Amino acid sequence: MKLRNFLISLLAAFVCPLGMHADEAYRPMLKDGKVWNCYYSSGPYNFWMVYYINGDSIVDGDRCFKMYLTMTEMEEGIKVSKGAYLCLYLEKDGKVYEMRKGEDSWRLLYDFTMKVGDVRVPGKEYSLTVKAIDSVYVAGQAFRRMTLNTAYYYYGERDDPYVYDGYWVEGVGSPCGPMAANDCYTPGGSNQLLSCYEDGECIFSDNDFWRKGGEDSETYKPILQEGLAWKMEYQKEASPESRCETLVLINSTLIDDIPFKRVYIQEKADGSDDYIWTPQGYWIGEKDGRVYCYHGDVWPDYYTAIMDFSLSVGDSLVVTYVLPDDIERNIHELQTYKVVAVSDTVIDSSADKLPRRCVYVEGKYGDEKDCWVEGIGSLKYGINVRGGKEYSGTSQVLLSCTQGDKPLYIRTQGTNEIENLSVEPKSDFAKDAPVFDLQGRQLQSKPGRGLYIQNGKRYVVR
């Protein structure tokens, strides 16, 4: 009964009026069929929120788009809303407006005409100042990004505001979804964008908001991408049986300006094709080519690097931990990895056939070998930290990493992929195949560092 009452009140909050909390070609945000996948959390309840545009209407001579919502409870897989109408959207002269159900006037959500230094005060709780404007590149497409210094005033008090950076991206919206332009808070909880789809293709995901700006922002392939799933196998010693589980990353948060996502186990609900997700006690973060693990329950306020794709041959990475009952919070060494080889390798089982940076490492005493693959993780532990699985005498291995229905890596049974991956870069530059830069200009000599196109494919030369 409590859950039912909560869902009714939550849907009512979304469809009723809500107070605001909040020289490149313009990329419109509104288009029929566009979809925003979001994660919504409120106390013990967690939901998938799918906002989508379906149909249009003419208001005062302007074409407006109709926004709908489908809502699914995560842990039980129950659909609590199968397409509730939310509001009308209007996009005009670089500004995006909404008109909620039951209202008769437009409310400004986004103003992409603002320039650096411009200030907007949408309500007594907020002020927004444009801090920077640049572009991020996703799948070869440039998205104009606005960084906004957001000041939140508790209960209207203006002496000691909470200040943080937010983002608006043309054609996408904010990290909180299409309807929360100024913050991630909606009535009773928080909303976070996971991905944005246009014409059936994912054009932007939550981690893209924090990408490095400029054309080289595509060269690094992050692990914190939308739709990635890691299938792990766990094998106990002296036992013929093994068990498998699929890990996914959901629910973004920032710790010391590092984006983190919580690890969930994904499995099918009994007697259904729907998935359910069980949260685990650790998060994975990533910034500047370094991958971190944070155990919120075991290692409170402490995280450690578990992979680093910026390392070169001879460099080392020390993975550390803190005992949960250690009042003095002494840091202990879990493992020290030394880099023995680095290469840019096209993985045979990958669907995209893009070169990925592979970092080959050994344990301090040569007792452990592993390979970290850019955008995939460890071939031994996946996105688990070494020792993160508390199964005595249990070994683990990554079976596959997929993005949606596309494989990025599939382990070949009966082989040691860590040793079999070539440590020599695979060159796809044929002598007679022309090479082009990103502007389509043919190069007359072998390319240097950067991103290039040959035979219709993108290649990275480091």
Number of Cα atoms under 13 Å in the Cβ half of residue 288: 4
Of the candidates 167, 185, 216, which is a domain's last residue? Answer: 216
Residues 413 and 431 occupy one common structural domain = no
Rounded (5°) CA angle 431-436-441: 130
Of the candidates 195, 216, 237, which is a domain's last residue? Answer: 216
Please choose, from the candidates 191, 189, 194, 250, the residue with its C-alpha nearest in 3D space to the C-alpha of residue 10.
189
Beta bridge partners of 401: 230, 409
Q: Is pLDDT larger for residue 70 or for residue 433?
A: 70
Encoding tokens for residue 139? 């799948």
**What is d(CA 42, CA 252) in angstroms, rounded to the nearest whole number?**
15
Band the pLDDT of 6: cuts 50, 70, 90: very low
Summarised one tens digit per residue, pLDDT across range 26-82 is 999 999 999 999 888 777 778 888 999 999 999 999 999 999 999 888 777 777 778
Residues 400 and 307 occupy one common structural domain = yes
Domain assignment present for residue 406? The answer is yes
Burial class of 57 by CB neighbour count within 10 A (0 to 12, 13 to 18, 19+): exposed
Residues 56 and 204 occupy one common structural domain = yes
Residue 257 has pLDDT above 50, yes or no: yes
Residues 244 and 278 occupy one common structural domain = yes
Band the pLDDT of 13: cuts 50, 70, 90: very low
**Average confidence score pLDDT of the chain:** 77
Strand blocks (E) in 60-125: 62-73, 79-92, 95-100, 107-111, 119-123
Residues 134 and 236 occupy one common structural domain = no
Number of H helices, E strands in the chain: 2, 29
C-alpha distances in angstroms, 236 versus 216, 244, 390, 411?
Answer: 44, 12, 12, 19
Per-residue pLDDT, averaged over 406-432, amounts to: 58
Residue 457 has pLDDT above 50, yes or no: no
The strand pair at 62-73 and 79-92 is best described as antiparallel
Q: Considering the chain, what percentage of its residues have pLDDT values greater than 70?
A: 73
Task: Give the list of residues 6+ apart from residue 271 with CB closer than 8 angstroms, or none.
Answer: none
Residue 224 has pLDDT above 60, yes or no: yes
- Among left, alpha and beta (phi > 0; psi -120 to 50; other), residue 171 is left
Domain assignment present for residue 404? The answer is yes
How is the beta sheet containing 355-363 ordered, strand by strand? 316-322, 331-346, 355-363, 369-373, 377-378
Domain assignment present for residue 222? The answer is no
Residues 55 and 189 occupy one common structural domain = yes
pLDDT at 113: 94
Radius of gyration of the chain from Cα atoms? 24
Summarised one tens digit per residue, pLDDT across range 339-358 is 988 887 888 888 877 778 88
7: how many CB neighbours lie within 10 A of its CB?
A: 17
**What is d(CA 167, CA 146) in angstroms, rounded to the nearest whole number?**
6
Q: What 3-state class would DSSP assign to 12?
A: helix
Rounded (5°) CA angle 158-163-169: 125
Say which residue the tokens 């914190």 belong to: 224
Residues 87 and 105 occupy one common structural domain = yes
Please choose, from the candidates 4, 82, 69, the residue with its C-alpha nearest in 3D space to the C-alpha of residue 36.
69
How is 325-355 classified by DSSP, letter by letter? T-TT--EEEEEEEEEEEEEEEE-TT-SS--E
The amino acid at residue 395 is S
Residues 29 and 72 occupy one common structural domain = yes
pLDDT at 430: 43
Please choose, from the candidates 210, 372, 345, 369, the residue with its C-alpha nearest in 3D space to the C-alpha of residue 285.
210
Domain assignment present for residue 152? The answer is yes
Summarised one tens digit per residue, pLDDT across range 371-412 is 999 999 999 889 987 654 444 456 788 999 998 888 999 987
Residues 264 and 161 occupy one common structural domain = no
> How many independent structural domains does the chain possess?
3
Please choose, from the candidates 82, 77, 81, 405, the residue with its C-alpha nearest in 3D space to the C-alpha of residue 272.
77
Contact 134, 214 (CB under 8 A): yes
Summarised one tens digit per residue, pLDDT across range 268-316 is 766 667 778 888 888 999 988 899 998 876 666 788 899 999 888 888 9
Domain assignment present for residue 264? The answer is yes
**What is d(CA 172, CA 28) in angstroms, rounded to the nearest whole number?**
8
pLDDT at 436: 61
pLDDT at 184: 44
Of the candidates 184, 216, 248, which is a domain's last residue? Answer: 216
Domain assignment present for residue 223? The answer is no
Structural domain that includes position 205: 2-216
Residues 301 and 404 occupy one common structural domain = yes
Please choose, from the candidates 407, 52, 46, 47, the residue with its C-alpha nearest in 3D space to the C-alpha of residue 196.
52
Task: Give the list of residues 6+ apart from residue 226 with CB closer than 8 angstroms, or none.
Answer: 37, 194, 195, 202, 205, 206, 207
Residues 162 and 240 occupy one common structural domain = no
Band the pLDDT of 418: cuts 50, 70, 90: low
Burial class of 193 by CB neighbour count within 10 A (0 to 12, 13 to 18, 19+): buried
pLDDT at 12: 44
Residues 62 and 195 occupy one common structural domain = yes
DSSP code, position 441: P
